[in-house]
Amino acid sequence: MRTTKLVSGILMIILSVFITFQSTIAGLGNALDGDGETGGSGGVLTAIIFLATGIVYIATKSKEKLTADVINMVLLLIAWLLAISNAGSYSDLVIWGWLAFIIGVGFFVWHYFINQKSKNAQRVQ
């Protein structure tokens, strides 16, 4: 779990830089077109959430409590909602949104079951 959180945190930070770049270009395109789409702004907010959750995953890689995973799950679900509702012509934002959903819910469920397994193993001893 420790290595996975570290690697995921680093990848989320790298992805946040990439999403920020893409969102800036999409926002510039939206502004030049004057079409009223908000994909660029939604992408920047999604990138900020990716950055925050990546930092939290790295900072809490060795913690056994679920607090950080619950907070990250909520943040990534917010990023998911932002991304899929604001995508418009910036279709990559839908991909980043679903990735946020998978990472947020996946890590929480995985960490929850690992904690339950270790609690049951301690009871048996």
What is the predicted pLDDT for the residue at 109? 93
What is the predicted pLDDT for the residue at 32? 87
What is the predicted pLDDT for the residue at 125? 64
pLDDT tens per residue, range 17-40: 999 999 999 888 888 888 778 888
Residue identified by tokens 């913690």 is 63
> How big is the chain by its Cα radius of gyration, in Å?
17
Best CA proximity match to 12, nearest among 68, 64, 76, 88: 76
Name the pLDDT band for 55 (thresholds 50, 70, 90).
very high
SS3 assignment, position 60: coil
> How many percent of the chain have pLDDT more than 90?
54
Q: What is the pTM of this model?
A: 0.88
Name the pLDDT band for 114 (thresholds 50, 70, 90).
confident
Sequence length of the chain is 125
Domain boundaries, the chain: 2-124
Q: Give dist(CA 115, CA 96) in Å, integer.
A: 28
pLDDT at 84 > cutoff 80: yes
What is the predicted pLDDT for the residue at 29? 86
